[in-house]
Copies of this chain bind each other. A is one copy, B any other.
Amino acid sequence: MLSKLNDQDPRVRRTRQLIEQAFDELLTEKNFDSVTVQDVTEKAQINRATFYAHFEDKYALLDHSIRQKFRQEIESRVLNACHYTPENLRMLILTVCEFQVKLNTSCAQSQKQFSPLVEKQIKEQIYELLLVWLRKMNIPVSAEMPATAATWAIYGLASYWSASKNRPALETYVDEALPLVAVNLNQFAPEAA
């Protein structure tokens, strides 16, 4: 059905939380493919029909879960409430890198199964964040293209790092990555104008 539920309703918040929590726990036990909607609803102790009132299917739940967790990382570093600086960009890259390894360690199996879904969700949020940053420094050209380039570069660099056999130290890696991404954005920064 998915007739939009009221996010303010305590019941809605509660059952969403139950679903998300059950889902998280299940992902630490088995891989995503073998988790069924029934598993989730049984662990969450809700009716299966209720699940479908909240999420279209288990893929929508995964999307939501990834999105939410990444958003939390962003928000905990108040990156969402700030503007562009090389330091903030550096922190963003670092966050994406850390998120990748966190996913790999907290899930039962390496999440090859759903990596495309993860990539989509993360990139969407990086992109939105960069757009906000760029729009704050009213630039002469459209923000979409620099934001797109930077988004893909950040995600690509983070993936590359997290997949490396012998991962270099995160800090030094990010130091190297930063200029590769910043070059597209620095030109619009106030001090460079």
Contacts and interface: CB of A to CB of B under 8 A. Distances in A.
Interface of A: 10, 14, 45-47
Per DSSP, chain A at the interface is: loop
Q: So how many copies of this chain end up in the complex?
A: 2
Contacts of A45: 10, 14
Nearest to A18: B14
Nearest to A10: B45
A10 B14 CA distance: 13
A10 B51 CA distance: 14
Contacts of A10: 45-47
A21 to B, nearest CB: 13
Contacts of A46: 10
A6 to B, nearest CB: 14
A102 to B, nearest CB: 29
Contacts of A47: 10
Most buried by B among A10, A46, A47: A10
5 contacts: A10-B45, A10-B46, A10-B47, A14-B14, A14-B45
A45 B12 CA distance: 12
- Which 5 residue pairs spanning A and B have beta carbons closest together? A10-B45, A10-B46, A10-B47, A14-B14, A14-B45
A170 B14 CA distance: 44
A22 to B, nearest CB: 13
A38 to B, nearest CB: 15
A146 B10 CA distance: 51
